[in-house]
């Protein structure tokens, strides 16, 4: 359907009435609502703002988020979508794929690859400013990663379609253990986590992610070809961050923030290493459920 007609009918269309980047909104939300992730926050704001403010980008934006479960990878992705698309994650220009759900059968890889390529092409043909989210990227079959490679590169066109305005975000737990180790070493040395620099993690993460034969990344040339613009590490969350997550969840539910509730829920989470109990092993992931349970009583 023509974009003008879609707009006239009040349907979402691929134009600046529906797609318009609010960099201040993203900056404020990252600052106020993403806890304990100074590296991710800085890298994402810089990468996304730089890309979306550039008139003629030479390649699509490709971000790869790494870290332990529940540390904010999906949460931040949702923030990016909310500040770019009026419909946020509900936008028909936001596409979310989960490796273990959508590509379950290894023997169908060739078929999946063809479908995936058609699907990316079709979506970008309908709207150049499309956002593709690949969850569990480390579990994606190398054949499929190979399949999406041409779209991540700086080609002018691939089969008559330009992918230069698209955004690809990959999520994975790969590298999480190494990131956790660096964070724990800082903690053991009595240093602030905010002192951790990207350079402290790069070597550790790349060793873990790219040398792991289980990782789909390892098998493909996605790395050596520099197709990923930014590797973004997510640090493990501490007790104080979990407390903040509980407070935030209470606010979202319109409940008064009761510090007893905050402590009870935060203490219910499990922390590692077992002895020191520094980091939440599920980040803030099950805070919502724990709170449901607690508030029911």
Ligand X SMILES: Nc1ncnc2c1ncn2[C@@H]1O[C@H](COP(=O)(O)OP(=O)(O)OP(=O)(O)O)[C@@H](O)[C@H]1O
Within 13 Å and on the Cβ side, how many CA atoms surround 125? Answer: 11
Choice between 83 and 171, CB closer to ligand X: 171
69 is in an annotated binding site: yes
67 is in an annotated binding site: yes
In angstroms, rounded to a whole number, what is the distance separating the alpha carbons of residues 230 and 43?
8
> To the nearest whole angstrom, how small is the minimum distance from the Cβ of residue 90 to ligand X?
16
> To the nearest whole angstrom, how small is the minimum distance from the Cβ of residue 201 to ligand X?
16
Choice between 33 and 149, CB closer to ligand X: 33
Choice between 60 and 70, CB closer to ligand X: 70
Choice between 73 and 129, CB closer to ligand X: 73
56 is in an annotated binding site: no
> To the nearest whole angstrom, how small is the minimum distance from the Cβ of residue 75 to ligand X?
3
DSSP 8-state secondary structure symbol assigned to residue 88: G
267 is in an annotated binding site: no
Q: What angle do CA 122, 125, 131 make, to 5 degrees?
A: 80
Choice between 124 and 245, CB closer to ligand X: 245
Choice between 135 and 229, CB closer to ligand X: 135
Among residues 65, 62, 217, 215, the alpha carbon closest in space to that of 153 is found at: 62
> To the nearest whole angstrom, how small is the minimum distance from the Cβ of residue 68 to ligand X?
7
Are the beta carbons of 213 and 255 closer than 8 angstroms?
no
Which H or E run contains 288?
helix 287-296
In angstroms, rounded to a whole number, what is the distance separating the alpha carbons of residues 105 and 112?
9
> To the nearest whole angstrom, how small is the minimum distance from the Cβ of residue 78 to ligand X?
7
In angstroms, rounded to a whole number, what is the distance separating the alpha carbons of residues 82 and 73?
14
160 is in an annotated binding site: no
Among residues 141, 145, 208, 203, the alpha carbon closest in space to that of 174 is found at: 208
Which H or E run contains 143?
helix 142-152
216 is in an annotated binding site: no
Are the beta carbons of 149 and 62 closer than 8 angstroms?
no
SS3 at position 63: strand
> To the nearest whole angstrom, how small is the minimum distance from the Cβ of residue 55 to ligand X?
31
Binding site for ligand X (CB under 6 A): 33-37, 67, 69-75, 171, 173, 237, 245, 283-285
50 is in an annotated binding site: no
Binding site membership for ATP: which residues?
67-74
Binding site membership: which residues?
67-74
């Amino acid at each position: 359907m023509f974009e003008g007609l879609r707009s006239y009918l009040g349907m979402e269309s691929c134009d600046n009435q529906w797609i318009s980047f609010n960099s201040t909104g993203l900056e404020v939300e990252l600052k106020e609502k993403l806890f304990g992730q100074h590296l991710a926050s800085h890298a994402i704001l810089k990468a996304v703002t730089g890309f979306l403010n550039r008139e003629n980008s030479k390649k699509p934006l490709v971000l790869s988020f790494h870290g332990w479960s529940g540390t904010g990878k999906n949460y931040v992705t949702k923030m990016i979508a909310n500040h770019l698309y009026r419909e946020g994650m509900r936008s028909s220009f936001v596409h979310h794929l989960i490796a273990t759900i959508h590509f379950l059968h290894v023997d169908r890889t060739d078929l999946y690859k063809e479908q995936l390529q058609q699907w990316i092409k079709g979506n970008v043909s309908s709207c150049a400013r499309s956002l593709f989210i690949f969850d569990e990227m480390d579990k994606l079959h190398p054949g499929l990663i190979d399949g999406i490679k041409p779209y991540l590169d700086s080609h002018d066109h691939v089969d008559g379609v330009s992918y230069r305005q698209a955004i690809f975000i990959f999520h994975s737990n790969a590298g999480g253990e190494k990131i956790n180790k660096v964070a724990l070493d800082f903690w053991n040395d009595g240093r602030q986590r905010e002192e951790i620099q990207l350079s402290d993690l790069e070597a550790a993460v790349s060793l873990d992610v790219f040398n792991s034969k289980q990782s789909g990344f390892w098998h493909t040339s996605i790395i050596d070809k520099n197709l990923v613009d930014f590797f973004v590490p997510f640090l493990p969350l501490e007790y104080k961050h979990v407390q903040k997550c509980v407070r935030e969840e209470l606010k979202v539910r319109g409940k008064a923030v009761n510090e007893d509730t905050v402590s009870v829920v935060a203490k219910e989470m499990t922390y590692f290493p077992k002895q020191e109990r520094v980091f939440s092993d599920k980040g803030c992931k099950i805070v919502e459920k724990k709170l449901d349970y607690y508030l029911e009583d």
